[in-house]
Amino acid sequence: MLILPQLALAAGPEIADVVVLDYTSTTAAIYWTTNTTSDSVVRYGTTTPPSQVKSDSSDVTTHFIYLTGLTSGTTYDFEVESTDVSGTSTDDNGGAYYSFTTESVTEYSITLDPACGVCGELVDVEVCNVVIEATATVAAAGTYHVCWDSRTAANVKGTFTATGAGSHTVAFYLPEGRKGLHTVYLVDSTYAERAKADFEVFVSVKIDPDEGPVGTEVTVNCYGFSASQNIRVSFLDTEKTGTANSDGSWEVSLTIPATPAGGYTINIEAKEGTVWVVWVSKQFTVTPEITTNPESGTVGQTIEISGTGFASEEEDIEVTFDGEVVPTNNPLVADENGSWEATIVVPPLQRGTYTVDASGESTRARDVDDIDFIVGAGVSVEPGLAYVGDTITVAGGGFALGETGIKVTFDGQVVAADITVDIDGIWESSFVLPVSTYSSHTVSASGDITKPAVTTTLDIKAKIEELSPVEGAPGDLVTLTGSGFSSNNQLTVTVGGVAVQGNMQTQTNGNVVISFRVPKGSPEGERTLVVTDEGGATDSVDFTVEKKILSTTPLPISPKNESKLRSGEVTFNWQGVTGGTSYTYTLEINTAAGSGNIWSKSDITESSYTLTDTPTVTETLPKGTYYWRVKIVDDYGNESEWSDTSQFTVSPIPTWVWVVVGVVVLVGLMVVAYRETKFKVTE
């Protein structure tokens, strides 16, 4: 440390301990103290009085001024000065000035700050946004260049001229470059190397943007990879692959797929040999978003609204229009990807721009960007899907303030009139829905000022008005009336899934007046009766299918009770029913009275049946005791009670009896033959 003589002036603070703490070829540190807090000024230079000034306005008692940009091997004179509230003191070493000499430079060097880094992003073609400061120390005057990777004019990144030995700083942007070490050269005017330093480039990735809704196009910029290296970018199930250029850079875009809100990782991999290695991971935040289609409309218009980026399977989603919750066509629940769709009707409002928003059980409205929706004059109906005879509320919005003469028509027929608009451009009325067909119908409204009429649609749905009776057995007659069906369409009626037979049609005005019989095969119990036409109109009601027991029971005739039969080919006879209605019979043979069924036959059309024995069908009965009974079945499957049971026994003649009979007959024939031979008279 060099301590120089000091001379303190009487005015201002007392200056003491003026010292040059340290100096190099281009820098020097000047130090002194004062007895009061005061500022700091150093005047320095190679001529006297010194002409260069460096100062610090901070009020301190310990003063420190750092001089830079000095020339090596040069002597500088200087003085110090401090000012407080009492005045200014200057210490010029009694007029002789203080002095120091910078170090002489005898060799060349270059240092980099920073000495490594990542590109981050390009600010110009082949230029990154990282600034490198190269400090070059030279031993002689001349023109010098700083070059990147090679000592050529094409790779010069900075130039300076030295008047003598000393240090100079050149700043330049980091060039776009591949991964690894790059050489920065200090060269003279002939591009001869004087010094060099290494700069290491690391892998870096930038994504833009780093948040947004589903469908966002994200640009991924990769820097600092190896030249021609295979790179892969993956996000959920989306994957893009490419090859880095000669500078180790690659750019690709990917579209954010449908996915719930939240933070996700974008992985950037590079292929090292045969293995993919994750080099960089970036975070992307999926945000909720809603859209409307169309983006503007009229009061009463049905618009589509959809949301993405909500929570997976999020419930209790609500849509607001001008801050008020509006009904949707169905309860809103997001799917597993956080997406949902719905339709809403623009509510009655003045003409103007309104905010549409949405929220759910976990997605707050403030997290969803609002949509500005422009509303024009229009009309709405509630409900938009109705039955004939329903009271329909019709409301208009966006009309002229105080406008009169508003009338409402349904399919051109006036259903409300003499309505006056309020001071907000809104009005409301109602009408009873007239007889109409299944389809969309036009509701229009106009006034003395609002012309032509604004319109909306109202959908009619089918309804079964009356069913009589509401219970019955197959074959019973049922009458049905309905409304809101298609015009002149073929009808299909089912009971418990079984179709009714017959030709039935709707009327021109969509009404239905039909009669039919409960179909055969309708399952018993409470069932659904469905009426559908070819146009798609349908409605259903409950109908109870009952079991019907026919009043007539057949009377067994033969075989009579306790009959004994010698053959298994039995003929059964019974007394049945007479009349125009078609009936059939079911015959059953059991081994016990009312149980042990061994044979049965249905759909017998006559009141008798004979068991047969053919090459294809064997029905004859073996020896044994049997019980038979019969019942009646009508065309619709309704049955009578079983008849009384009759017992009969089948007892065929034993085989040995037939053998004996055969022997007796044979002997008799032989006796006759003998007599004829013995007593024959010969002529």
* pLDDT, position 664: 65
- SS3 state of residue 260: coil
Q: Are strands 385-386 and 378-382 parallel, antiparallel or unpaired?
A: unpaired
The CA–CA distances, whole Å, from 447 to 298, 398, 419, 643 equal 16, 12, 9, 79
Beta strands in 139-191 (DSSP E): 142-148, 156-162, 166-175, 180-188
* pLDDT, position 683: 41
In 3D space, the residue among 330, 424, 326 whose CA is nearest the CA of residue 380 turns out to be 326
Contact 37, 29 (CB under 8 A): no
Cβ neighbours for 429, distance < 8 A, ≥ 6 positions apart: 393, 394, 395, 406, 408, 416, 419
The CA–CA distances, whole Å, from 308 to 320, 360, 363 equal 16, 12, 11
Is the pLDDT confidence value at 672 over 70? no
629: amino acid identity, one letter: R
In 3D space, the residue among 380, 371, 375, 378 whose CA is nearest the CA of residue 351 turns out to be 375
pLDDT, the chain, mean: 91
Structure tokens, 444: 């229009």
Q: b/e per residue, 87-118, with b = 16+ CB within 10 A?
A: eebbbbbeeebbebebeebeebbbbbeeeebb
* pLDDT, position 515: 96
Cβ neighbours for 69, distance < 8 A, ≥ 6 positions apart: 26
Measure the CA–CA gap between 219 and 249, rounded to whole angstroms: 13
* pLDDT, position 577: 83
* pLDDT, position 678: 57
Give me the mean pLDDT over the 228-234 stretch: 96
Contact 162, 140 (CB under 8 A): yes
Residue whose tokens read 């008047």 = 163
* pLDDT, position 660: 64
Tens digits of residue pLDDT in 416-456:
999 999 988 999 999 999 999 999 999 999 999 988 999 99
Is the pLDDT confidence value at 321 over 80? yes
Tens digits of residue pLDDT in 21-66:
888 888 999 999 999 999 999 999 999 999 999 999 999 999 999 9
Is the pLDDT confidence value at 8 over 60? no
Is the pLDDT confidence value at 539 over 90? yes
Q: State the DSSP code for 560.
A: P
Range with the lowest mean pLDDT among 239-248, 658-667, 674-683?
674-683
Q: Is 204-286's fold the same as 549-650's?
A: no
* pLDDT, position 263: 96
User: DSSP secondary structure string, 613-666?
Assistant: B-SS-B----SEEEEEEEEEEETTS-EEPPPPPEEEEE-PPPHHHHHHHHHHHH
- Looking from the CA of 88 toward its CB, the CA atoms found within 13 Å total 5
In 3D space, the residue among 2, 39, 36, 37 whose CA is nearest the CA of residue 17 turns out to be 2
Tens digits of residue pLDDT in 109-153:
999 999 999 998 898 888 999 999 999 999 989 999 999 999 999
* pLDDT, position 22: 82
State what percent of residues in the chain have pLDDT above 70. 94
pLDDT tier for residue 656 given thresholds of 50, 70 and 90: low
Q: What is the dihedral of CA 198, 204, 209, 214, to 10 degrees?
A: 170
Where does 289-375 sit in CATH, by number? 2.60.40.10
Find the helix or strand (DSSP H, E) in which 10 lies.
none
User: Which residues partner with 271 through β-bridges?
Assistant: 276
Give me the mean pLDDT over the 620-624 stretch: 91
pLDDT tier for residue 653 given thresholds of 50, 70 and 90: low
Tens digits of residue pLDDT in 545-600:
999 999 999 999 999 998 999 888 899 999 988 765 689 999 999 999 878 888 99
* pLDDT, position 300: 84
Where does 2-101 sit in CATH, by number? 2.60.40.10
Burial class of residue 613 in the structure, from the number of CB atoms within 10 Å of its CB (0-12 exposed, 13-18 middle, 19+ buried): exposed
Round the CA-based radius of gyration of the chain to a whole number and report it.
55
Is the pLDDT confidence value at 4 over 50? no
* pLDDT, position 1: 41
Contact 419, 410 (CB under 8 A): no
User: Which residues partner with 276 through β-bridges?
Assistant: 271
Q: Does the bond joining 175 to the residue before it have cis omega, within 30 degrees of 0?
A: no
Q: Which of the four CATH numbers 3.50.50.60, 2.60.40.1930, 1.20.1530.20, 2.60.120.10 does domain 378-460 have?
A: 2.60.40.1930
Domain residues of the chain, as ranges? 2-101, 109-201, 204-286, 289-375, 378-460, 463-545, 549-650
Range with the lowest mean pLDDT among 25-39, 354-368, 372-386, 666-680?
666-680
- Can you list the pairs that 417-426 forms with residues at least 24 positions away whose Cβ atoms lie under 8 Å? 419/447, 421/396, 421/447, 424/350, 425/349, 425/350, 425/351, 425/377, 425/397, 425/398, 425/399, 425/400, 425/401, 426/348, 426/349, 426/350, 426/395, 426/396, 426/397, 426/399
Measure the CA–CA gap between 232 and 205, rounded to whole angstroms: 12
* pLDDT, position 9: 43
- SS3 state of residue 365: helix
Task: Report, in this order, helix, strand and coil percent for the chain, each rounded to 5.
Answer: 5, 55, 40
Give the global pTM.
0.54
Measure the CA–CA gap between 530 and 470, rounded to whole angstroms: 13
Contact 404, 421 (CB under 8 A): yes
- SS3 state of residue 349: coil
Measure the CA–CA gap between 191 and 171, rounded to whole angstroms: 19
* pLDDT, position 3: 43
The CATH architecture one would assign to domain 463-545 is Sandwich (2.60)
Measure the CA–CA gap between 392 and 404, rounded to whole angstroms: 21
Tens digits of residue pLDDT in 195-222:
999 999 999 999 999 999 999 999 999 9
pLDDT tier for residue 71 given thresholds of 50, 70 and 90: confident
Q: b/e per residue, 245-265, with b = 16+ CB within 10 A?
A: eebbbbebebebeebbbeeee
The CATH architecture one would assign to domain 109-201 is Sandwich (2.60)
* pLDDT, position 681: 45
The CATH architecture one would assign to domain 204-286 is Single Sheet (2.20)
Structure tokens, 433: 């829905």
Measure the CA–CA gap between 590 and 52, rounded to whole angstroms: 135
The CA–CA distances, whole Å, from 227 to 118, 241, 247, 252, 646 equal 16, 15, 6, 16, 104
State what percent of residues in the chain have pLDDT above 90. 78
* pLDDT, position 578: 72
Q: Helix (H) and strand (E) counts for the chain?
A: 1, 58
* pLDDT, position 544: 97
Is the pLDDT confidence value at 11 over 80? no
Where does 549-650 sit in CATH, by number? 2.60.40.10
Q: Does the bond joining 288 to the residue before it have cis omega, within 30 degrees of 0?
A: no
Say how many Å lie between the first and final Cα of the chain, rounded.
191
* pLDDT, position 5: 46
Measure the CA–CA gap between 84 and 39, rounded to whole angstroms: 7
Measure the CA–CA gap between 657 and 76, rounded to whole angstroms: 161
